[in-house]
Structure 1
């Protein structure tokens, strides 16, 4: 097949392009800008566009398919040319379904935990040398690419994102995969720029459950009341299998998972991650891995990239970086670090960086999110609010939303940096939660303070 990518540089898009190249397809693409690591990875395979920009002349009737990325706009010149020629135009999830419609599709959905659960499943499969196709939203240790497609593998494991499919297809991605086996980990309002009400957001998960093929199955986190309600209300003719957080203990900064064979030391920690583990175990069992083999493999799982990722450790100090930004993720991550390091001072620093987190109406959802931290800091950039064309967010609004009298708030990157570098991190755990970089924080310099 001859496939052209409009907006090839995106994290998901470039990984799909690499997967198709590895499968022997003829792949071309365009983008107006491409950042690292996408740029180098595309260049290594000879897929990096010669020039940045949109070139309608690249679009011809010789193309078998167009894959349209979210970064493109509906009036993109290449897209308009493809529509004019009546070429087959796929969104990213549509194309993945097309590649996997004859396989057993395993789809992991949820507002939080889906990257970690998908990563756990793939880690276990890799550990036991069971080859599967996949798409996951993080770079995993031992895996060269984030998307793998073959003609031979029976299973494909897909991280089921609820965000929109393409500029001309406003359906959530996970509505298009039609899973045989599904998992739903949690529901907590997110992406408010797309789903303006909580009810509208929850409805997308109901549609997901109803999209499971007849006779399929769903494993669901029954500790999340919204998940439990949505799954149990579905009239779809599927098997519904609940899971819950397994028993575990924390001793001297080490988490021990209770198993039929006794306490098992594991690398990950936090109630939310143990809950994720329980869901992953069920899915692996559906895929032919027995319980003992799952425990053997999961003991070596260190976590998904940017999810409670340890970036530095000293004799009595440790620092973690996490992608957490939505209220439920921030609370779960902060609680996890405090539980793991109960006898240390936990310094939690949250950057409000996304559309939702910088929305004045949404801020109240963060109530209590940082309560487990001994020192709680919020950083946000008024410039980022301007760029996103949102209403101004004030210091007072943030203080009111979190309902914590001792909350420290910074809007100037230099002031935030000064605060961090003046801290004594002896007997401390530093937690940095952001999908950005705090206005240009040098993480390598910060590591030196902790190590």
Structure 2
């Protein structure tokens, strides 16, 4: 089969391209720009386009399939040529479903936690040498790629994103997978550029729940009232398995899980991560991993990349990098760090970087999100606001949104860096929350602050 990727450089897209190449398919692709790590990884497998740009001449009837990424626009020259020729065009979630029609599909959904839960499941299965197909949104220890596809494996584990599938397919990705087994971790309004009201956003999770195959199993967080409302009011003929935060305690900076076999020390921490663990356990049990085997494996799970990822530590200081950007994630992350390091000063630095977080109407959702931090900083770039064609956001609006009198606000990257590197980090837990890099912050330089002390 000959497959061409339009916008091959995306995180999921380039991983799918590599997975299909490894499966033996003939893969080609285009993109107008590709950055690392996508660039070097595509180059390693001989899949990096020789020239960046869009080339309609690459599109011909010799191609069996086109896979279209979200980065492409609806007037993309290659897309228009493919449509003109009547070629079969898939979004990547649509194609993943085609590749897994004969497998047991396990889909992890929710506004937060889905990458971590999927990573936990894959960690446990890998620990016990259980082969499965998968697609996950972060690079994991012990896994070369974020997508793996075979002909033989019985299960496929999919991270179920609620964002749109492609420029010409406006359905949320997780509506396309038709799971046999699914999980819902939480529902907190996000992607307001696509889902303008919370009701509209919440409805997508109802559609997801109703998309489970007849007799399928839904594992869900019973501590999230919106999840409970969606799942327990579904009339779909499915089995329902609630989970909640397991019993645990913190001793000397280590979280212990209370189990029937004794207290189990964990590498991870935070109520949200313990909820994630409880959900992952249910899913693993549905996949044939018993409770004791799950606990044995999960004890060595260190977390998904950029999800409360510890990037540096010495006797006095610990630094975390976290992908958190939505209000619920920011609050959960900050609270987790404070509870774990209650004797330390928690310095929380949040970059407002996404479309939703920089939207003036959405800002009020951040009220109280940084309350668990001892010192709180918000960075945002007025330039990023302009690029996203949003209404101008003022420092006063930011301050009013977070409702914190001592909030420190920066809009200049150099001034933020000067502040950060001037801080005395003794007896401090620093958490850097962003899906960006604070206008050019080198995280290796941040690590040196700790390593040199």
Asked if residue 296 in structure 1 is aligned to residue 296 in structure 2, the reply is yes
Measured against aligned partners, the alpha-carbon deviations of 1:353-375 in whole angstroms (never above 9, x if no partner) come to: 00000001100100110000000
**Structure 1 residue 447 displacement after superposition:** 1.5
CA–CA separation in structure 1 for the residues paired with 2:439 and 2:50: 31
**Structure 1 residue 422 displacement after superposition:** 1.1
**Equivalent position of 1:272 in the other structure:** 272
**Equivalent position of 1:14 in the other structure:** 14
**Equivalent position of 2:333 in the other structure:** 333
**Structure 1 residue 448 displacement after superposition:** 2.0
TM norm structure 2: 0.99
**Equivalent position of 1:425 in the other structure:** 425
**Structure 1 residue 345 displacement after superposition:** 0.3
**Structure 1 residue 152 displacement after superposition:** 0.2
CA–CA separation in structure 1 for the residues paired with 2:432 and 2:46: 36
Q: 1:102-113 alignment to 2 at 5 Å?
A: 102-113=102-113
CA–CA separation in structure 2 for the residues paired with 1:361 and 1:418: 30
CA–CA separation in structure 2 for the residues paired with 1:256 and 1:450: 26
CA–CA separation in structure 1 for the residues paired with 2:229 and 2:270: 25
CA–CA separation in structure 2 for the residues paired with 1:80 and 1:248: 56
**Structure 1 residue 415 displacement after superposition:** 1.2
Measured against aligned partners, the alpha-carbon deviations of 1:257-292 in whole angstroms (never above 9, x if no partner) come to: 111111100000000000000000000000000000
Q: 1:12-161 alignment to 2 at 5 Å?
A: 12-161=12-161
Partner-residue secondary structure (3-state), 1:240: strand
Asked if residue 163 in structure 1 is aligned to residue 160 in structure 2, the reply is no
Partner-residue secondary structure (3-state), 2:277: helix
Partner-residue secondary structure (3-state), 2:439: coil
Consecutive unaligned residues of structure 1, counting only runs of 5 or more, are none
**Equivalent position of 2:446 in the other structure:** 446
Compare 51-60 and 339-348 and name the one that shifted more.
51-60
**Structure 1 residue 229 displacement after superposition:** 0.3
**Structure 1 residue 396 displacement after superposition:** 0.8
CA–CA separation in structure 1 for the residues paired with 2:377 and 2:307: 19
CA–CA separation in structure 2 for the residues paired with 1:102 and 1:348: 46
**Structure 1 residue 442 displacement after superposition:** 2.1
Consecutive unaligned residues of structure 2, counting only runs of 5 or more, are none
**Structure 1 residue 450 displacement after superposition:** 2.3
**Structure 1 residue 446 displacement after superposition:** 1.6
Asked if residue 315 in structure 1 is aligned to residue 315 in structure 2, the reply is yes
**Structure 1 residue 413 displacement after superposition:** 1.0
**Structure 1 residue 316 displacement after superposition:** 1.2
**Structure 1 residue 37 displacement after superposition:** 0.9
CA–CA separation in structure 1 for the residues paired with 2:435 and 2:406: 24
Measured against aligned partners, the alpha-carbon deviations of 1:386-443 in whole angstroms (never above 9, x if no partner) come to: 1111001111111111111111111111111111111111111000000011111122
Partner-residue secondary structure (3-state), 2:279: helix
Asked if residue 349 in structure 1 is aligned to residue 356 in structure 2, the reply is no
**Equivalent position of 1:373 in the other structure:** 373
Partner-residue secondary structure (3-state), 1:226: helix
Compare 94-103 and 34-43 and name the one that shifted more.
34-43
CA–CA separation in structure 2 for the residues paired with 1:69 and 1:443: 29
**Equivalent position of 2:222 in the other structure:** 222
Asked if residue 258 in structure 1 is aligned to residue 252 in structure 2, the reply is no
**Equivalent position of 2:242 in the other structure:** 242
CA–CA separation in structure 1 for the residues paired with 2:449 and 2:39: 32
**Structure 1 residue 377 displacement after superposition:** 0.6
**Equivalent position of 2:324 in the other structure:** 324
CA RMSD of superposed structures (Å): 0.6
Partner-residue secondary structure (3-state), 2:349: strand
Partner-residue secondary structure (3-state), 1:339: helix
CA–CA separation in structure 2 for the residues paired with 1:126 and 1:299: 13
CA–CA separation in structure 2 for the residues paired with 1:139 and 1:445: 22
CA–CA separation in structure 1 for the residues paired with 2:402 and 2:129: 46
CA–CA separation in structure 2 for the residues paired with 1:321 and 1:101: 37
CA–CA separation in structure 2 for the residues paired with 1:376 and 1:9: 35
CA–CA separation in structure 1 for the residues paired with 2:54 and 2:428: 50
**Structure 1 residue 14 displacement after superposition:** 0.4
**Structure 1 residue 48 displacement after superposition:** 0.8
**Corresponding residue pairs, total:** 451
CA–CA separation in structure 2 for the residues paired with 1:436 and 1:140: 20
Partner-residue secondary structure (3-state), 1:335: helix
**Equivalent position of 1:360 in the other structure:** 360
**Structure 1 residue 331 displacement after superposition:** 0.2
Partner-residue secondary structure (3-state), 1:4: strand
